[in-house]
Chain A
Amino acid sequence: MARIGGGGLAGILASAQAPAYAQGTTIHWLRWNDFVPASDQLLRREIAQECQRALGIRLNVETVNANDIQARVTSAVQSGSGPDIFNVLNNWPQLYAQSAADVSDIAEEVAAAQGGFYEVAKAVAHDGRRWLAVPFSIVGNTFAYRKSWFEEVGYAEFPRTWEQFRDAGQKLKAKGRPLGQTLGQTFGDAPTFTYPLMWSFGGKEVEADGRTVVLNSPETVESVRFMTRLWRDACDEGGLAWDDSNNNRAFLSGTISATLNGASIYIESMRRPQSYLTDRGTPMKDDIRHGVMPAGPAGSFHFHLPFSNMMPAYSRNQDATRRFLRWIHSKDVFERWFVTQRGFSVGATTVWEQHPIWNEDPVMLPYRNAARVGRVPGYAGTSNAKAAEIVTKYVITNMYARAVQGIAPEQAVREAHAEVARIYAG
């Protein structure tokens, strides 16, 4: 069956124009469509052109919805054909460990040249023996909040403890400016809130042995109990239906006073300052600040969303893909992408904390070292496939959502514990 249609034709034309040595080498890179659209533009246009010049490789960047990436990985892995690199998020490399080519050499090189990877990046992309993927970036998660509104209720600084946070939220909600937090079934903002909340009260899924499930503990129950109060007193009830973008839009439209998010809200508000205004008519960007996770009895924790480049073992262009990975992860090339992110993503290596971009805007500073304090799901065990299963089934998020919907905290935790135990036993 002959190939028909634009792609086939375009492919032939493109390779006819390319230098002779480049013929036939195309790298297909599948990514999410970025919350910072400028970065996608950069990859598709300039980076692709440079890649052609520098490596003689034609770069095909395909972006799909983050929610749809896994369908593509699964069908590609099962049929043994598809993209040459998947930019996967969270601890997905552990899910696809058996199908990932060993990229230890590249990862070690990048780590050596750029000050080493953050612990969170390593936890999701390294299986204890080898690198399953090369960590690319980390989307830092902090609270975006409205400075003037928090000042009005007596918080010149962002609340440092959960109790202060609830208190501020209660006063704000009374003024019709609730906190906004999703508890829906969505990949980003829901787990990046619920896991740290659980950890900060001392709750965890398993012991360090990675087998003993200890979710049902007084600490976890206490965190769930706190969540129900926080929800009732301080949160926008619509949050149960939110996906990763609803809170951004609610914030930009001025209906919520704070929400846990990447920096994309602030970046969007700066991209079009005249579109997003405060109730006084001034640009909202001047009223946005970022605050770190409030602390509970056990401390303050974060779950930042790591992104890694995974090369599937089936790829027939492994040599070219390796050359490309070395190139795109090299300081000079990565920097160009990093700059377009404007801090939404931080690097996976520590060297990027020194980048001058952090001197430009003090509002972005909380993101600079954010990745240092992260934890990943599966704590205190390793972030393996079991932990990934619990994330993708939203077990922890739903534990809080169920309690918020009215069942007893103890029961919500008991049910979640049973589910986690089932997964770790299976």
Chain B
Amino acid sequence: MIEGPLWRKWLFVNIPIILFVFVLLFPFYWMIITTVRPDSELYRPWNAPNYNPFWTWRPTLEHIQYLLEETLFSTWMLNTMLIAGISTIISVICGVFAGYALARLNFPYAAGIGTGIFVTYLVPQTLLFIPLSDIIRNFSLGDTPWALILTYPTFLIPFCTWLMMGYFKAIPKELEECARIDGASRFKAMLYIILPIAVPGILSAGIFAFTLSWNEFIYALVFLSSPEQKTVPVGVTSELIRGDVFFWGPLMAGALLGSIPVALVYSFFVEHYVAGMTGSVKG
């Protein structure tokens, strides 16, 4: 693709990419180095002499050890994965069904319903969590993972639905019609013809939904109370952020350990995922 001499490729592609990677990943390098830095090196102010914040000669695992032994971090990880996983599955299923209906079927008020689903996304969480806690109590869901599993889809479904709508619109109608001529029902045609083609789109919706649930803070703070029920963001902030203590080591360890599993899944899916977005674009 690239024409012209090598310096042009460096100037217009390689160097900008290196810059992007540097800026986007710098905080992660910072987290890694803080995770393994001994406490005594953390008290140095920015203008201290002989201080190199980007390297340490005395790496330690004590912060990771503290995180895993003194807090319930592994439990929080499991909780977060469980909650994010199930709410993602629910949202993707709802999104696929709703997206298919809105994109492929003719029925009254389709546009209105589509807009309505989108509009729910406009309601800020900071407003919703107070009345929501009422519902949570009525269903006796307080302090159970279900409180989050059932409320997270409220902000995941709109996005999934609209992403899937775009994707379904891109799949030629003829494919489905062929199947129907061969005697398949509408539902079967959707299940066996359309969905397999849409797998990359489903993956991309799923990854976004998973990331958003993974990140959520307010609902998790308000609806869960037992330490062993909490999620990573809430557990780490309520156990590790303390007044006088230089808590940065365990905190950064928590941030890293909390994102590495997702990063692994992502690197596994990312090619699929890119292909998935491709579909939703054609519209």
Contact = CB atoms under 8 A, between A and B. Distances in A.
Q: Is A–B contact present in the complex under a CB 8 A cutoff?
A: yes
A254 B245 contact: no
B246 interface: yes
A180 B27 CA distance: 28
Most A Cβ at <10 Å: residue of B141, B222, B242: B242
A7 B228 contact: yes
The prevalent SS among residues of B at the interface is helix
Most B Cβ at <10 Å: residue of A4, A5, A248, A249: A5
Interface string A50-93: 00000000001011110010011011101111110000000000
Interface stretch (A29-37, A221-229, A323-331): A29-37
B118 interface: no
A33 B238 contact: yes
Contacts of A81: 137, 142
A65 B137 contact: no
B130 A78 contact: yes
B13 interface: no
A244 interface: yes
Contacts of A248: 243-244
A305 to B, nearest CB: 12
A253 B45 contact: yes
B244 A8 contact: no
Interface string B214-252: 000010011101111100000001110111111000000
Nearest to A6: B228
Interface residues of B, number: 41
Interface string B128-158: 0111011011011111111000000000000
B52 interface: no
Contacts of B75: 6
B188 interface: no
A265 B239 CA distance: 19
B39 interface: yes
A33 B239 contact: yes
A10 interface: yes
Interface string A227-252: 00000000000000000110011101
A120 to B, nearest CB: 21
A148 interface: no
A301 interface: no
A319 to B, nearest CB: 21
Given A65-B237, A71-B218, A254-B45, A244 B133 contact: no
Given A64-B221, A65-B238, A268 B141 contact: no
A33 B43 contact: no
Nearest to A188: B243
The prevalent SS among residues of A at the interface is mixed
B226 A62 contact: yes
Contacts of B180: none
Interface residues of A, number: 46
Contact of B40 (A1, A72, A255, A275): A275
A68 B145 CA distance: 20
Most B Cβ at <10 Å: residue of A63, A64, A74, A252: A64
A68 B238 contact: yes
B44 interface: yes
Given A6-B75, A71-B221, A254-B45, A62 B137 contact: no
Nearest to B44: A253
A118 interface: no
Contact of A275 (B43, B129, B239, B242): B43
Nearest to B83: A5
Interface string B142-182: 11111000000000000000000000000000000000000
Nearest to A72: B222
B245 A63 contact: no
Contacts of A62: 225-227
Interface in B1-54: 39-40, 43-45
Most B Cβ at <10 Å: residue of A6, A10, A76: A6
A252 B43 contact: yes
A229 B129 CA distance: 44
A311 B144 CA distance: 23
Given A6-B75, A275-B40, A275-B43, A37 B245 contact: yes
The 10 closest A-B pairs by CB, nearest first: A35-B243, A75-B133, A268-B244, A79-B133, A7-B226, A79-B137, A253-B43, A64-B238, A6-B228, A7-B229
Interface of A: 1, 3-8, 10, 28, 30, 33-35, 37, 60, 62-65, 68, 71-72, 74-76, 78-83, 244-245, 248-250, 252-255, 264-265, 267-268, 275-276
Interface of B: 39-40, 43-45, 75, 79, 82, 129-131, 133-134, 136-137, 139-146, 218, 221-223, 225-229, 237-239, 241-246
17 contacts: A1-B140, A3-B140, A7-B144, A8-B144, A63-B239, A65-B241, A71-B222, A74-B130, A75-B129, A79-B133, A245-B242, A248-B243, A249-B43, A250-B45, A252-B244, A253-B44, A264-B244
Given A3-B144, A5-B82, A253-B44, 9 more contacts: A7-B228, A33-B238, A62-B226, A65-B241, A75-B223, A81-B137, A248-B243, A264-B244, A265-B244
